[in-house]
Amino acid sequence: MKPLGYSLSSFGDMSARAGAVRRQEVLPGDSIMVRTQNSIYLLRLGDDGAFSVSGGWFRRKGRENSRMTITGCSLGGTMIRVDTIVACGFSIEFGNRLVTSPVRSFFVLRRGWIN
């Protein structure tokens, strides 16, 4: 019988191999464009450590530019990478407990690249 889920070591290995953005790599004013399986999000880091979030669920609910924390990334279970904002194949977990569909791709826009 094949075990279900992931071990802690395989979880860490998978996130290390996946394209990822670690929390310490993002500076205030930086933006991350994220394409998940179902939506597109724009995350822009503010001076207070919270993100201005647009697109996806926030757009559908009329909550564009919501100030939101990002708890981390997960594979949809109880293990979460709190040091990672976005990683391919992982879901983003927001501070309001929203969990996205898996991330397919992302692009980091450094401060000053967009108005």
Per-residue pLDDT at 15: 47
Report how far residue 22's alpha carbon sits from residue 72's, in angstroms, rounded to the nearest whole number: 9
For residue 105, give the nearest of 35, 16, 31 by alpha carbon. 35
* Weakly modelled stretches of the chain, pLDDT under 70: 1-18, 112-115
pLDDT at position 84 is: 94
